Amino acid sequence: DVKVTQSSRYLVKRTGEKVFLECVQDMDHENMFWYRQDPGLGLRLIYFSYDVKMKEKGDIPEGYSVSREKKERFSLILESASTNQTSMYLCASSPRTGPSLTEAFFGQGTRLTVV
């Protein structure tokens, strides 16, 4: 089975702190994604990566950065946490096969609260 593991299930940070959310997948997937999920807004794509050291902005990249130094690990960085970044953060990975993507597999999510 595909396993996507996020480093923390719950996290509480102070405003202005630099926050690292880590995600590791064990299936050698090329693509990795970071989403945030808020009530009524669904999953919104923050950043994604289709290869090591490659990254692309999603729909809401402001206030975030990412790092992908190894294929299995994709980190989301909040440079200076703010209260409006309080959310559920979901990491996902998917293989790249032919011209189409197959489905994304999700980690268990990190509920981040910024106080």
Partner 1 sequence: QKEVEQNSGPLSVPEGAIASLNCTYSDRGSQSFFWYRQYSGKSPELIMSIYSNGDKEDGRFTAQLNKASQYVSLLIRDSQPSDSATYLCAVFQYSSASKIIFGSGTRLSIRP
The footprint of partner 1 (CB under 8 A) covers: 31, 33, 35, 40-45, 48, 50, 56, 58, 90, 92, 94, 96, 99-109
Residue with smaller CB distance to partner 1, 57 or 70: 57
Contacts of 48 (CB under 8 A, 6+ apart): 31, 32, 33, 34, 55, 56, 58
Residue with smaller CB distance to partner 1, 17 or 51: 51
User: SS3 breakdown of the chain: % helix, strand, coil, rounded to 5?
Assistant: 5, 55, 40
**Residue 15 CB, nearest distance to partner 1 (Å)?**
25
Distance, CA of 7 to CA of 110 (rounded, Å)? 8
Residue with smaller CB distance to partner 1, 80 or 102: 102
Residue with smaller CB distance to partner 1, 36 or 78: 36
Distance, CA of 37 to CA of 99 (rounded, Å)? 28
**Residue 26 CB, nearest distance to partner 1 (Å)?**
16
Helices and strands in the chain, H and E counts: 0, 13
**Residue 73 CB, nearest distance to partner 1 (Å)?**
18
**Residue 77 CB, nearest distance to partner 1 (Å)?**
20
Distance, CA of 113 to CA of 30 (rounded, Å)? 30
